[in-house]
A = this chain, B = another copy of it.
């Protein structure tokens, strides 16, 4: 393997096991693909697949998954807590190895065109592939959800990038794009007072003038006498994990509390890991190629 792309499609079915397995099997039918993980949430009624492979094979696998999703899922009958506008709702491509972000943008455009032309599915491009600034943010595109899509598309601001200018009758519309790997990172504080976690979240998140590319929320942890700052770091190259961790530590100290422990949800790239090690050990040139296994496997 040389070029490697990750794809993390989100599908609007998290309850019916046989359908989820049929969808998974569509991905597995492309032999050269490696499925790293898939998980379904009953309350969200949503499944997330994570797989990697060459750009061509990833494109093939996700196209098959999209076609199968349209065949098996009818959004008119779908209920779930998570916002969604499509049977296959979101498809991000993430560059992993020997692939540029631009190549992932081209993948997103290529897939979008095929979904639009062959499957009659309206497609919006987002994040790095967005065709306009107001379309970068997924939440903006998805606002109104499947049920509001017909109305939304009448607005010229929300004309799809590919496909028909009206929703697919059962599949809605799909959002396709390219982004850097997202890091889901939570920090637990030894206080029951959720107002401190909320204050810290507000201080560090981009929305309220904090760090770029950081989303954060303060919340109570049930079953524990702790509160949590729950985060998505959407670009660790802009704002590294250590930067938010150290800042939360400082803010906690100012409030006479401290960090008990952290949590990492899902996977983190070896590049983000190297950045953390480089910072804390003051190793200015530390890169993944100094890691034995990286060197062995040349990934």
Q: Is A286 on the interface with B (CB-CB < 8 A)?
A: yes
Chain B residues within 8 Å of A281, by CB: 241-242, 245, 262, 264, 276
Give Cα A226 to B145, complex, Å: 61
Q: In the complex, are the beta carbons of B299 and A297 less than 8 A apart? A: yes
- Compute how far the CA of A242 lies from the CA of B280 in the bound complex, rounded to whole angstroms: 9
Given contacts A242-B281, A284-B261, contact A36 B267 (CB under 8 A): no
Q: Which residue, of A37, A283, A295, has the highest number of chain B Cβ atoms within 10 A? A: A283
Query: For the complex, what is the distance from the CA of A96 to the CA of B294, rounded to whole Å?
Result: 12
By a beta-carbon cutoff of 8 Å, the part of chain A in contact with chain B is 4, 6, 34, 36-37, 52, 96-97, 181, 187, 241-242, 245, 259-264, 267-270, 273-274, 276-277, 280-284, 286, 288, 290-297, 299
Shortest beta-carbon distance from A58 to chain B in Å? 12
How many Å from the CB of A239 to the closest CB on chain B?
15
Contact: A291 with B276, CB < 8 Å? no
Known: A187-B282, A241-B281, A273-B273. 19 other contacts (CB 8 A): A4-B296, A6-B292, A52-B296, A96-B292, A96-B293, A97-B293, A242-B281, A262-B282, A264-B290, A267-B290, A267-B291, A267-B292, A267-B295, A270-B270, A270-B292, A276-B276, A276-B277, A288-B293, A293-B299
| Cα distance, A98 to B20, chains bound together (Å) | 33
Find chain B residues with CB under 8 A from A245 CB.
280-281
Distance in Å from the Cβ of A269 to the closest Cβ of chain B?
5
Alpha-carbon distance A267/B297, docked complex (angstroms): 14
Q: How far is the CB of A167 from chain B (nearest CB, A)?
A: 34
**Complex Cα distance A203/B222, Å?**
45
Determine the chain B residues whose CB is within 8 A of the CB of A280 once the complex forms: 242, 245, 276, 280
Question: Which residue from B34, B241, B283 sits with its C-beta under 8 Å from A263?
Answer: B283
Known: A273-B277, A273-B291, A280-B280. A296 touches B96 (CB 8 A): yes
Task: Please indicate the chain B residues that have their CB under 8 angstroms from the CB of A259 in the complex.
Answer: 282
The 4 nearest A-B residue pairs measured at CB: A267-B292, A280-B280, A270-B293, A261-B282
Contact of B264 with A292 in the complex, beta carbons under 8 Å: no
- A242-B281, A277-B276, A277-B277 are known contacts. Are A293 and B269 too (CB-CB below 8 A)? yes
A36-B296, A277-B277, A295-B36 in contact; A268/B290 too (CB < 8 A)?
yes
Measured CA separation A263–B292 after assembly (Å) = 16
Q: Which residues of B contact A294 (CB under 8 A)?
A: 270, 293
Query: How many Å from the CB of A129 to the closest CB on chain B?
Result: 21
The interface residues of chain B lying within 8 Å CB-to-CB of A263 are 283
A275 CB to nearest B CB, Å:
10
Give the nearest-CB partner of A245 in chain B.
B281
B264 touches A283 (CB 8 A): yes
